Amino acid sequence: MTSAFPTATRYAPRGMVCTVDHLATAAGVDVLADGGNAVDAAIAAHAVLAVTAPHLCGLGGDLFALVHDGAGAPAALDASGRAGSGADPDRLRAEGHTAMPFHGDIRSVPVPGCVDGILALHARYGTRELADLVAPAVRLAEEGFPASPILVRPATRLEGVDGAGDLLAATHAGAVVRRPGVARTLRGIAAHGRDAFYGGEFGAGLLALGAVGARDGARPEYDAADLGRHQADWVTPISAPAWGHTLWSTPAASQGYLLLLAAEVADGLALPDDADDPLWAHLLVEASRAAGHDRLDVLHEGAAPLADAAALRAEIDPDRRTPHFDPQQRDGDTTYLCAVDGDGLAVSLIQSNAAGFGSLLFEPSTGINLQNRGVGFNLRPGHPAEYGPGRRPPHTLTPALVTRADGSLRAVVGTMGVDSQPQLLLQVVARLLAGDATAGEAIGSPRWRLHGGATGFDTWEDAVRVEVERGSTWADGLRARGHEVVEAAEGVGFGHAHLIEVTDEGVRAGAADPRAVIGAASGV
């Protein structure tokens, strides 16, 4: 098996945390070592990431999570924000927009759901005081943290952006960055709950930005009732069988169904034992295209888009690309973390600004950057995902969890990667479940992704090409089967995937994606 990034599998007897940043992983592991559970550890790790990784996630974004507590179905949390009551698609169309603005426009900023999500997780599963869980993050924000190599380059985009001044200190790896506004906000949330955020300093700033964005006397994007509405809901998870296991994810408007449907399709195909064989890549590419070709039509809040896997599977030719799996009509960044404790409680948590620093708008008093998750909305009149008041946009976020036939936990897994998340996870899961790969092999092996647009959020708008990591063995074989193939630099655009599995012996085995440079899987 070719390894793009030789990756060690880390083993621990009682618990493990895996994140994109070793500082966040350490905070979570400390919680486990002190007797906290996996949700406590995930909250502590997430709080650190909200400080140190604003180019990936933060309090101004959204969150999804799966929590496995014993055998059976996991609990699923949708903490994705809704558009404000002033959302007006006609106004955008009158201005000439055919798609939601990508940067610099408050109308692409739904009310952030992240804080409500963390509070919902803590209320249901937390065993430690929230103030204690966020204390490491507060300390890093107040005393300063060393800028990571993956923060430095995106921070150069923030010159002149109102409210982003703290992050301009990230001039080189190791430069000390302080974020007092984020520390103040975390302290407030720990002491006073959601009111300290949505009804406090941050909320006042968001309302002001929404009012400034109201042009020509139009209604402001948000009002106080929008911020008073809870953005987090416990929902029914979705599942599908694959390779003798059950795969779980969050329902629409998450695109998690794409992973489940593609895996169910692929499970009935004759995958080669050797994942370096181009046929292996071709069959998974076709399974992904089959699952996603109508994504723009069917994905919206409240949808149930799981299709007939057997019917889709029957259309796949092992020798040729299937033309009608192209999109039927024309119509970032994220971070994932997972934790498993010694009692078997497990968390698969994904949190995002959408694209990098999101909208490139910051709430200026706290320095918290705002997501641009509203780019998932549609501006076609009458479309089920049309931008409008109180609606949630379609989401790329795809947390995943795998259980055995008896309902016990096999793995928690996820990745960043915008539209490509289900495709990247399909490869990791196929290697783990069908190929008996170790966690390190599943994470470190080469990947492909489907990519058809300029932003990573527009994959399904046209006939998609297959991008493969340079050094993989698939390109010629995929071209011979009719795919348009691009060989891309290793690690660029192929996600930061993280995985923790529970072995048959009950050991926690995990791997952090080396593409993230500073990620870490560690345990107790």
**Predicted confidence pLDDT, tens digits, the chain (524 residues):** 566 688 999 999 999 999 999 999 999 999 999 999 999 999 999 999 999 999 999 999 999 999 999 888 999 999 999 999 999 999 999 999 999 999 999 999 999 999 999 999 999 999 999 999 999 999 999 999 999 999 999 999 999 999 999 999 999 999 999 999 999 999 999 999 999 999 999 999 999 999 986 666 779 999 999 999 999 999 999 999 999 999 999 998 888 999 999 999 999 999 999 999 999 999 999 999 999 877 877 778 877 667 789 999 999 999 999 987 875 433 256 889 999 999 999 999 999 888 889 999 999 999 999 999 999 999 999 999 999 999 999 888 899 999 999 999 999 999 998 888 999 999 999 999 999 999 999 999 999 999 766 665 666 666 578 999 988 999 999 999 999 999 987 666 899 999 999 999 999 999 999 998 899 999 99
Token pair listed for 273: 């034992």
Question: Which amino acid would we find at residue 43?
Answer: I
- Beta-strand ranges (E) seen in 445-519 are 448-451, 465-469, 485-488, 497-502, 508-512
Given a contact cutoff of 8 angstroms between Cβ atoms, the answer to whether 226 and 84 are in contact is yes
- C-alpha 45/C-alpha 510 separation (Å) is 16
Edge-to-edge strands, sheet with 10-12: 10-12, 508-512, 497-502, 409-415, 400-403, 245-249, 238-242
Token pair listed for 491: 């690690």
pLDDT score recorded for residue 331: 29
pLDDT score recorded for residue 1: 53
pLDDT score recorded for residue 262: 95
SS3 readout for 162-231: CCCHHHHHCCCCCCEECCHHHHHHHHHHHHHCCHHHHCCHHHHHHHHHHHHCCCCCCCCCCCHHHHHCCC
Strand 485-488 and strand 465-469: the pairing is: parallel
- C-alpha 303/C-alpha 252 separation (Å) is 6
Given a contact cutoff of 8 angstroms between Cβ atoms, the answer to whether 328 and 294 are in contact is yes
Longest dimension (CA), the chain: 65
Token pair listed for 177: 């960055």
From-to residues of CATH 3.60.20 in the chain:
235-333+397-523
Residue 202: partners with Cβ closer than 8 Å, 6 or more residues away = 59, 185, 363, 365, 366, 368
Which has the closest alpha carbon to 194: 135, 121, 110?
Answer: 121
* Measured CA distances, 518 to 83, 141, 311 (Å): 34, 18, 42
* Measured CA distances, 10 to 201, 416, 507 (Å): 41, 21, 10
The pTM for the full model equals 0.94
Q: Which residues of 339-350 are buried (b: 16+ CB within 10 A; e: fewer)?
A: bbbbebbbbbbb
Q: How many CB atoms lie within 10 A of CB 373?
A: 32
What CATH number was assigned to the domain covering residues 235-333+397-523? 3.60.20
Q: Which residue has the tokens 């990784």?
A: 53
Residue 17: partners with Cβ closer than 8 Å, 6 or more residues away = 25, 28, 29, 32, 41, 42, 45, 337, 338, 339, 521, 522, 523
